[in-house]
Structure 1
Amino acid sequence: MPPTSRPLSKLGFLTIGLFDEADPRRGHESTLEIIELGERLGFDSAWVRHRHLQYGISSPVAVLTAASQRTRRIELGTAVIPLGWENPLRLAEDLATVDLLSGGRLNPGVSVGPPMHYDRIKEALYADTADVEDFGYERVRRLLDFVRGKPVTDFSGVEGFEVFSDRVQPQSPGLGSRMWYGGGSLRSAQWAGEHDMNFLTSSVVKAEGPEGSEDAEGSPDFAEIQLAHIRAFRAHHPDGENARVSQGLVVIPTDSATPQQRAKYEEYAAKRTPRTLSPQGPARLLFAPDLVGTSEEIAERLQAHVAFREVDEVAFALPFTFEHEDYVQILTDVAARLGPLLGWRSKA
């Protein structure tokens, strides 16, 4: 391992929690079973994605409530809750409740921006205020204030037989320090650092960065861009180099996979490769290649990834469309083979 790398201290995974419209319970149960497996394998954290009007988890807070009662140690995170769909005050109540029920294991990750396809759903989501809603960082700041115990109102005390608080209740000590921002731009990285959050990076960044963040052919270099984001975050965070960053690349080890599984994994990655070759769309989004191969091969590629070398936490993303048994194989290989190659020690 290169001398500038940080040994991996926290190993996590991320799932979208897909389900069949005809049998949604089975898909949700599969997600919970995968989280339970993650704990048995010694993973430090399990994260769920957030999907609205799709066949993936639409209510991660509810799913993680159930997961909190079926596990005892593994940390539970959201990556990420898009706040354009949420009321920050109500969400603060839900997050604190789940954190208390989990024994302080919740790691809420959030992001900003208007909901996807907003013009087509805004009347259903915000019938009376659709044109005046603010989907910027102010929404995150409000959530942070509520979670961290700042007053919501100037009223508190006893009214008749009822007692009122001027803060969101319940309050969960420590939750405010476990709030994560999921960002893929320099601006987001800086904002998260300035507001004392943790930073979630993923397999998507905006094609931006300092001079020199291009590869040999002059195209944007994903790893260099992500590295610039990590350094911008830490430069603006009170904890500096100790500020928490988690990286979330798609990682698919094949050590114990069947020949059929390996073929499926390689086909999946190949179909997604074209989007990694150049920035996509008006936002110039750049995608990282999926990492498929033996644990030794993947470890070598990660150790050469300049952004990976500056983090000591990961939440490897499980592919969207695989079967339950595929996830079992992938997670087992990550915990048993890949993690130790990266310096991680199982908590099992």
Structure 2
Amino acid sequence: MSLTSKPLRKLGFLTIGLFDEADPRRGHESTLEIIELGERLGFDSAWVRHRHLQYGISSPVAVLAAVSQRTSRIELGTAVIPLGWENPLRLAEDLATVDILSGGRLNPGVSVGPPMRYDLVKEALYPDTADVEDFGYDRVRRLLDFVRGEPVTGFGGTEGFEVFSDRVQPHSPGLGRRLWYGGGSLSSARWAGEHGMNFLVSSVVKAEDAEPRDFAEIQFSHIEAFRAHHPDGGHARVSQGLVVIPTDSASPEQRAKYAEYARKRLPRTATPQGPARLMFSPDFVGTSGEIAERLAAHAAFREVDEVAFALPFTFEHEDYVQILTDIATRLAPALGWKPAS
């Protein structure tokens, strides 16, 4: 029986795909195996993070192309691709290609803003245009137009022996409705709604009010703003990503590790962090029954029927197997979810 007012309809998980620099294939293979496990357990979606100049997935579209050939049902998402690193036209081509190969299962999530540590990478990334690049919402708008089939050029037809299209090829019908915006501010929530996107809310939000509010209240306000500005209103899709670690089948050693992981991260959840006033959600660690009760009281969780629970960054493969198995077989059913048949 569901403990929340809105039974969980879609169950997903998110992984960063860490690897050892000395053996990067092993880490990438682990990510593929984890997503294959997710499909066997009935998860509705699997999402990968995006990292540049780090030891995590730097090319999520390529990874999802590979996993699309090893799975048949589970939806595949990115949470999120920072568009400051991307050319929207080229990215649109890659996304459409993978969507075609996957049979229409791709859910690209994107965000805007300057690339992380931009002062250190701008000369390598944009050697001639670093000081004039626009990292605002227009980058998302261009991607939306290209994916949705708007003309790229004024010419389409035959020139000599070559045939040209005036829009991105391949064109994948339906992909434009599966684009997500990953946002942590009210302005992002409004923009995503106004442009008919889906909305990813994660474990980080901006505390923009002078009056202190807890994380769940801030996230709830973002969901409200998004749906208020979306053509689909209350039916607009929102997926929530929190770090959730059930311990039902964990060994004593795993339980101790998980508790210590959450303990070290807890201080950052007490007050807004840094100039951007970022608020972090506490990690949810405990039995499935305990976590379900905490989520049932979470103002934002009560507004969604889709989740992409985040796997911790630094755990081992066998930890992820235990966590995903407990989520699918114990926690999610307590939230009203039924596995895909």
TM-score bin, normalised by smaller chain: over 0.9
Instruction: Please list, as runs of the form range in 1=range in 2, the aligned pairs for 1:202-213 lying within 5 A after superposition.
Output: 202-208=202-208
**Could you give the per-residue CA deviations for residues 305-341 of structure 1, whole angstroms, max 9, x where no partner exists?**
0100000000000000000000000000000000000
**Residues in 1 aligned to 2:28 and 2:3: alpha-carbon distance in whole angstroms:** 42
1:284 paired to 2:274 = no
Instruction: Please list, as runs of the form range in 1=range in 2, the aligned pairs for 1:188-203 lying within 5 A after superposition.
Output: 188-203=188-203
Contact kept, 8 Å, 2:146 with 2:167, in 1: the verdict is yes
Contact kept, 8 Å, 1:206 with 1:286, in 2: the verdict is yes
Instruction: Please list, as runs of the form range in 1=range in 2, the aligned pairs for 1:159-308 lying within 5 A after superposition.
Output: 159-208=159-208, 219-308=212-301
SS at the partner of 2:8?
coil
Identity of aligned pairs, percent? Answer: 84
Contact kept, 8 Å, 2:2 with 2:334, in 1: the verdict is no
**Residues in 2 aligned to 1:289 and 1:3: alpha-carbon distance in whole angstroms:** 20
Candidates 303, 306, 310, aligned match of 1:310: 303
Question: Number of aligned pairs?
Answer: 341
**Could you give the per-residue CA deviations for residues 263-318 of structure 1, whole angstroms, max 9, x where no partner exists?**
00000000000000000000000000000000000000000001000000000000
Q: 1:3 to 1:45 in 2, by over 3 A?
A: closer
**Residues in 2 aligned to 1:249 and 1:2: alpha-carbon distance in whole angstroms:** 19
SS at the partner of 2:98?
helix
Structure 1 unmatched runs, 5+: none
**Residues in 2 aligned to 1:49 and 1:282: alpha-carbon distance in whole angstroms:** 24
SS at the partner of 2:285?
strand
Instruction: Please list, as runs of the form range in 1=range in 2, the aligned pairs for 1:101-112 lying within 5 A after superposition.
Output: 101-112=101-112
**Residues in 2 aligned to 1:271 and 1:9: alpha-carbon distance in whole angstroms:** 32
What TM-score do the two structures reach when normalised by structure 2? Answer: 0.98
**Residues in 1 aligned to 2:337 and 2:156: alpha-carbon distance in whole angstroms:** 48
Shift of 1:3: 8.7
Contact kept, 8 Å, 1:220 with 1:278, in 2: the verdict is no
**Who is 1:127 aligned against?**
127
**Residues in 2 aligned to 1:23 and 1:220: alpha-carbon distance in whole angstroms:** 44
Shift of 1:220: 2.4
SS at the partner of 1:26?
helix
SS at the partner of 1:144?
helix
**Who is 2:51 aligned against?**
51
**Could you give the per-residue CA deviations for residues 188-222 of structure 1, whole angstroms, max 9, x where no partner exists?**
0000000000000000000135x9xx6xxxx4210
RMSD: 1.2
SS at the partner of 2:134?
coil
**Residues in 2 aligned to 1:156 and 1:12: alpha-carbon distance in whole angstroms:** 40
1:327 paired to 2:289 = no
Shift of 1:115: 0.3
Contact kept, 8 Å, 1:10 with 1:314, in 2: the verdict is yes
| 2:198 counterpart letter in structure 1 | N
Structure 2 unmatched runs, 5+: none
**Residues in 1 aligned to 2:242 and 2:72: alpha-carbon distance in whole angstroms:** 26
Contact kept, 8 Å, 1:9 with 1:313, in 2: the verdict is yes
Shift of 1:4: 7.0
**Residues in 2 aligned to 1:31 and 1:239: alpha-carbon distance in whole angstroms:** 34
